[in-house]
A and B are shown apart, each in its own frame.
Chain A
């Protein structure tokens, strides 16, 4: 038995395809992208090493990059907070529901499986200045704002709107993962606390919250990385406009790389994105201590 499970040759056969593909398609390109980010590279010529020039340009002269970085970080913080709060709230409510739990769960999770490209088009239409929601507001005599084309403020209105659409689409995932963790908590612990005179809210604070910590790490990482990756909704709702005010890192990268063919510069944007993702993952897993409780 043990010999069989320590068979190195079999292990290699099992692992080789996945490992090779993963290394070739994911890790070698990461090394390449690091190299490209220090190059002047347009796709037509060979990469030409220019040192930190791309990064210096990015942080000194590229105004769109500033907007993109600001919007991406806003987006991450916004979806991190709202998804956690609303997702957990819904999960607690739904877990304690006596009737219709699966029905509501399935409805709230539905947009997660739909294409954000399609949903982006739908919302862009609903929030059109003349048709859709504004028409509905007009019927009750309210002049609706220009949802997707306003440019004023540190965080312009369209970013908030896209943030809410993203929340609408993805909060189901956070909710569902929390529900799984909460229903895994033994009923006995709650019964015991009730017998000791704990109220429902105290039980929530002292039992539920500590016991769902492992899921907090997972969902928060998913929220943060997911919102940094964010591209589809932006592309189909505003295309980064008006005047680049709704650009995020991913859309800026796409425009620079595949509209202007500045591969070198787009690579340095990729590196910023990659570093942000890595830092967030490390920060989240280090800051939230997961204690294991003996069952």
Chain B
């Protein structure tokens, strides 16, 4: 009887539902309006922003984009960011999954401690190792080189990669590996031919998370790179704070260019990112 009542209740739209949806829509607007407003400002002239900031642009000023792309050297910055993040992505995924496979699957006592060792990395802020890293990298001539950013990015991507991948490798049934062993597959074969392909979702999620994290990273990039030709996107944006501080429209055009790739990737893969990340986190 009672469950019947509950079912009935669920189908009606109550006043509470209306309030909830109203609240959610208002919150969604708080999230979307600043971003949309930024888009509209990026198409205006400076004078239009000062007199009429909240209207729709009268003429689409594409010149803003051209100016910030050329003068802000955004094309080069995007390319640098691409190189650094892609390299860091592939290497950290490869060595992170290798370590995660050993930790999740191999029966040696030391593995539990190794997992702890990698997880400590999640608690240590980058700031803490900034100075010794900078000193060492400058003595090795690695500052002002993209490779000098790639190495720390790989390292700081490892904890999350290992953490997520261990969750995925642990969830695989034992029988699979056993069957492969009986057929004479080596441990390396098990990893490359069986476990890696099956953990595609995990690799995808770990990869996207680390890629986005590195794409947005500011502090390391700012400290390690001072050569204008090697700067990554977030560092280039801070350049617009200084000498271009009054040129709001161009600054906003630059911001739009900088965040557009992440927005596009996110809108395509948002469901996978959210679901995959949460499966990994809950499992671990």
Do the two chains bind? yes
Residues of A at under 8 Å CB distance from B?
A: 1-2, 4-8, 10-11, 14-15, 17-19, 21-22, 25-26, 28-30, 32-33, 36, 43, 90, 93-94, 97-98, 100, 102, 104-111, 113-118, 121-123, 125-126, 131-132, 135-136, 168, 176-177, 179-181, 184, 191, 194-195, 215, 218, 221, 225, 228-229, 231-232, 235-236, 249-250, 253-254, 257-258, 263, 266-267, 270-271, 273-274, 277-278, 281
Q: CB distance A118 to B131 under 8 Å?
A: no
B25 to A, closest residue via Cβ: A104
Shortest beta-carbon distance from A213 to chain B in Å: 13
Q: A177-B278, A229-B125 are in contact. Are A8 and B108 (CB under 8 A)?
A: yes
A96 to B, closest residue via Cβ: B20
Q: A36-B132, A179-B278 are in contact. Are A6 and B127 (CB under 8 A)?
A: no
| Total count of chain B residues near the partner, CB < 8 A | 97
Residue in A28, A115, A221, A263 whose beta carbon sits within 8 Å of that of B216 in the complex: A115
- List residues of chain B with CB within 8 A of the CB of A218: 281
B258 to A, closest residue via Cβ: A118
Residue in A97, A117, A123, A176 whose beta carbon sits within 8 Å of that of B237 in the complex: A117
Q: CB distance B123 to A281 under 8 Å?
A: yes
Q: CB distance B263 to A116 under 8 Å?
A: no
Q: CB distance A25 to B266 under 8 Å?
A: no
Count of CB-CB pairs between chains A and B under 8 Å: 252
- List residues of chain A with CB within 8 A of the CB of B27: 90, 104, 108
Residue in B124, B248, B267 whose beta carbon sits within 8 Å of that of A277 in the complex: B124
A262 to B, closest residue via Cβ: B131
Say if the beta carbon of B277 comes within 8 Å of chain A: yes
Residues 148-176 of chain B, each 1 if its beta carbon lies under 8 Å from chain A, else 0? 00011011101000100000000000000
CA distance A8 to B118 in the complex (A): 19
Residue in A5, A17, A221 whose beta carbon sits within 8 Å of that of B106 in the complex: A5
B137 to A, closest residue via Cβ: A25
Shortest beta-carbon distance from B221 to chain A in Å: 10
- List residues of chain A with CB within 8 A of the CB of B266: 106, 110, 113
Shortest beta-carbon distance from A108 to chain B in Å: 6
Query: 9 new A-B pairs (CB below 8 Å) besides A29-B132, A104-B27, A117-B234?
Result: A19-B114, A21-B155, A93-B24, A100-B21, A106-B270, A109-B270, A115-B215, A225-B123, A277-B124
A35 to B, closest residue via Cβ: B132
The B230-284 residues at the A interface (CB cut-off 8 A) are: 233-234, 237-238, 240-241, 248, 251-252, 255, 258-259, 262-263, 266-267, 270-271, 273-274, 277-279, 281-282
Q: CB distance A274 to B124 under 8 Å?
A: yes
Overall SS of chain A's interface: helix
Say if the beta carbon of B70 comes within 8 Å of chain A: no
Q: CB distance A115 to B262 under 8 Å?
A: yes
Say if the beta carbon of B95 comes within 8 Å of chain A: yes
Q: A11-B106, A19-B114, A180-B279 are in contact. Are A232 and B218 (CB under 8 A)?
A: yes
- List residues of chain B with CB within 8 A of the CB of A11: 102, 106, 108
Q: CB distance A250 to B219 under 8 Å?
A: yes
B240 to A, closest residue via Cβ: A121
Shortest beta-carbon distance from A167 to chain B in Å: 11
Residue in A33, A122, A132, A180 whose beta carbon sits within 8 Å of that of B278 in the complex: A180
Q: CB distance A6 to B99 under 8 Å?
A: no
